[in-house]
Amino acid sequence: MTRLIIAVDGPAAAGKGTLAKALAASLNLPYLDTGLLYRAVARQMLLKNLDPVTESGEEAARNLQPQDLLRQDLRVPEIDRAASTVATQPLVRTALLQRQRDFAAATGGVVDGRDIGTVVFPQADVKLFVTASARTRALRRHCQLHGDATLSDVALQRLIEEIEARDQKDASRAVSPLRRAEGAILLETDDLDAGAVLQKALSIVRNR
Ligand code: CDP
């Protein structure tokens, strides 16, 4: 059985999930969306009326159950903000670290997040850093959430600002900040559709 580990990192809404899922399917590997772990911790805190800014998410992270990851209310703006806040808490990150390592240790896998190549799997066989301009990412996120519904200039501007605020929070935190890992290959995706990004990534994996 192959134990290839592929780390896919990058800023918010860059298309990491789309790429990682497609890569995993093409290579017959399991896929782990680590952002979902932070989102689920944030949701569990909010359900208990705990404020992620002032209160610890450690217990929520330790007690996270598989069904908590299946909730339909994890990809909403409230959770975008709360997840990036709990993600700044070192004890939350520590509580989630082993889970992430265990997931891919036996079988390998494609793992997407912010610190996969730097912290979770620094020895990953392939490290990709997927990015695009904030405008492109805002348009992609809108499309992911609302299909081809029209987006006004004001709403687009607001989405861009939210994405930039989250990037800033993710990149400036003290523990496991978002950054390109040593050895990570940069995939600039402004001018590439999902299929083209997948083909590039597959050729990087084949030529590793
Ligand atoms: O899908 P999107 O790029 O919008 O976000 P996500 O991957 O679901 O991650 C949500 C939040 O979790 C991020 O803004 C990060 O603050 C945090 N996160 C993290 O700190 N480390 C990871 N490995 C994955 C996500």
Mean pLDDT of the chain: 95
HSE, side-chain direction, 13 A CA sphere, residue 113: 32
pLDDT (tens digit per residue) in 46-96? 999 999 999 999 999 999 999 999 999 999 999 999 999 999 999 999 999
Among 84, 88, 110, which residue has the most ligand 1 atoms within 8 Å of its CB, making it the best to mutate? 84
For residue 204, report the distance from its CA to the centre of ligand 1, in Å: 24
83 lines ligand 1 (CB under 6 A): yes
- Residue 105's φ and ψ, nearest 5 degrees, are -60, -45
pLDDT at 2: 58
What residues contact 77, with CB distance under 8 A and at least 6 apart?
A: 162
Longest Cα–Cα distance of the chain, Å, equals 50
Let me know: does 118 contact 8? Beta carbons within 8 Å: no
For residue 33, report the distance from its CA to the centre of ligand 1, in Å: 9
pLDDT at 93: 97
For residue 91, report the distance from its CA to the centre of ligand 1, in Å: 16
Kindly list the distances between the CA atom of residue 175 and the CA atoms of 34, 189, 204, in Å, as whole numbers in the listed order.
16, 27, 29
